Structure 1
Amino acid sequence: MANQSTYKKFNYCDLGLIDYQSAWDLQKEIFDKRIDDKTDDTFFLLEHSHTYTLGKVAHIENLLMNDSQLKELGISVYEIDRGGDITYHGPGQIVGYPIINLKNWKEDTHEYLRSLEQVIINVCKEYGLETERKTNYTGVWIGERKIAAIGIKISRWVTMHGFAFNINTDLNFFNGIIPCGIKEKGVTSLSKELGNEISIQEVKEKLVNQFKIIFGYDDYQVIEREFYINNFEHLPLNKF
């Protein structure tokens, strides 16, 4: 920890269901403000409409659908500035976007990735599921099935993008891609592993609590969705 005596807090917002472009624009706005120290660390949880995103090192051949198939299923496609290959976002999947300054935690990209994974590992454990990491891959796994994908961007030690955690996700949408460019492994979800639908709100509460613990925060403030959607040019700073 950079300074054990520093009181650490973050702003948390549940953005609900939001299209990818709107969330990406909001991320970039808050990312810039965090770099300039004009807002506090921020953690968004949300669901996206059906979307495939291709990271900076993605191979377009891992997108298996043509334009007419994408249009028929209502799937948007974005080439974005995170690491990693191609992944899917959609309803029933919780996406987490931490926009935090690692100078106040650890200036260590690898440790940040591992800690994001640990947040999800701990939540899965609360549901009685044992998960693992793979040596050559990021994300959280149950056997050969990925339950959560990680893809981040870090600039000047401020983070954006984050994780996608399959809860009640329709896994059929992963058939349109080679997830993360890994042909030989599959995907799964919390509900598939447990055999019943899971409360998205309950999982979000567990994720926020584990995020607070893993990253050493003392507290957080809940910011309403409408504040960011309608008024994010006046972001909260040092509200504690």
Structure 2
Amino acid sequence: MREIPCWWVELPETKYQKALDLQLAVVESKNSGRLEADVILCLEHPRVFTLGRRGGRENLCVSDDFLSEKKVAVMPTDRGGNITYHGPGQLVVYPIIDIKRRRIKVVDFVSGLEQAMIRTAAHWDIPAGTDPANRGVWLGGNKLGSIGITVRRGVSFHGLALNVNTDMEPFDWINPCGLDRVRMTSFERHMGGPVPMEEACGEMARHLSVVFGISLTTLPAEQLYGKIAFKM
């Protein structure tokens, strides 16, 4: 079978809604047949709580007034999972991949995303692992990375969030992923100092390529916008 192209696209810090609009535009272009290539977006978000298909407002432990004062938005989404936090210093990756065409089962796709996070952490000798009871990546009893995806007509979107240099305080305002008494951690907290985000992004790209056997081609964001007629 002819190899399906896959573009690796790095974005600047991007508001959650804009990134979601871009994902949906890529998904629609793929499902309509106008775009063959798969696309993996790598970015950071401004501070925001997102809700999953299972809800999550019940796991928000602070008031709307408090969030307004802290300038943290709350966004409903159609991804899997419950409430989570995104913010600067967190590596967010959205793989928009035709997993049906690539013959990847959803459960294997999620496991592959976990492995990519684990291998990225291992680059800094951080011993991350999985928890059979809960999806995502863990460091001891603390959660290091989260996963929530959606699949539309065989094409995945949404993805993973890995805490690299993330401010941990907003996680104290929720029950992360709907799990009571779960604490979050980050590369920075474990190592006692920040990790270069550019290096973390590069490691993530390398490990996603290996885990899924996909060759990645770096594509400037502006070229992606042009190919799908998207206005950022």
Bucket of the pairwise TM-score, normalised by the shorter protein = over 0.9
Q: Distance in 2 between matches of 1:59 and 1:103?
A: 29
* Equivalent pair of 2:101/2:154 in contact (CA under 8 Å): no
Per the TM alignment, residue 59 of structure 1 is displaced from its structure 2 partner at its CA by 3.3
Per the TM alignment, residue 37 of structure 1 is displaced from its structure 2 partner at its CA by 2.9
Q: Distance in 1 between matches of 2:164 and 2:82?
A: 21
One-letter identity of the residue aligned with 2:130: R
Per the TM alignment, residue 38 of structure 1 is displaced from its structure 2 partner at its CA by 2.0
Match of 2:228 among 216, 228, 233: 233
Q: Distance in 2 between matches of 1:11 and 1:57?
A: 31
Determine if the alignment matches structure 1 residue 128 to structure 2 residue 106: no
Residue aligning to 2:19? 23
One-letter identity of the residue aligned with 2:210: I
Determine if the alignment matches structure 1 residue 91 to structure 2 residue 88: yes
Identity %: 31
Per the TM alignment, residue 36 of structure 1 is displaced from its structure 2 partner at its CA by 2.2
Per the TM alignment, residue 232 of structure 1 is displaced from its structure 2 partner at its CA by 5.2
Determine if the alignment matches structure 1 residue 119 to structure 2 residue 91: no
One-letter identity of the residue aligned with 2:22: L
Secondary structure of the residue that 1:103 maps to in structure 2? coil
Secondary structure of the residue that 1:43 maps to in structure 2? strand
Match of 2:195 among 184, 193, 198: 198
Per the TM alignment, residue 71 of structure 1 is displaced from its structure 2 partner at its CA by 1.0
Q: Distance in 1 between matches of 2:19 and 2:229?
A: 17
Q: What per-residue deviation string (whole Å, max 9, x for no partner) do you get for residues 95-124 of structure 1? A: 000000012323411111000001111111
One-letter identity of the residue aligned with 1:99: I
- RMSD between superposed Cα atoms in Å: 1.5
Secondary structure of the residue that 1:48 maps to in structure 2? coil
Q: Which runs of 5+ in 2 are unaligned?
A: none
Aligned residues: 229
Residue aligning to 2:179? 182
Q: Distance in 1 between matches of 2:211 and 2:56?
A: 33
Residue aligning to 2:5? 9
Q: What per-residue deviation string (whole Å, max 9, x for no partner) do you get for residues 146-188 of structure 1? A: 1100000012110000000000000001111110011132110
The range that moved more, 136-145 or 8-17, is 8-17
Write the mapping of 1:2-151 to structure 2, written as runs, cut at 5 A.
3=1, 6-39=2-35, 40-151=37-148
Determine if the alignment matches structure 1 residue 222 to structure 2 residue 218: yes
* Equivalent pair of 1:8/1:216 in contact (CA under 8 Å): no
Secondary structure of the residue that 2:93 maps to in structure 1? strand
TM-score by length of 2: 0.94
One-letter identity of the residue aligned with 1:120: M
One-letter identity of the residue aligned with 1:69: F
Q: Distance in 2 between matches of 1:76 and 1:207?
A: 27
Q: 1:198 to 1:225 in 2, by over 3 A?
A: same
Q: Distance in 1 between matches of 2:223 and 2:173?
A: 35
Q: Distance in 2 between matches of 1:85 and 1:28?
A: 20
Q: Distance in 1 between matches of 2:168 and 2:77?
A: 22
Q: Distance in 1 between matches of 2:222 and 2:65?
A: 35
* Equivalent pair of 2:29/2:228 in contact (CA under 8 Å): no
Q: Which runs of 5+ in 1 are unaligned?
A: 236-240
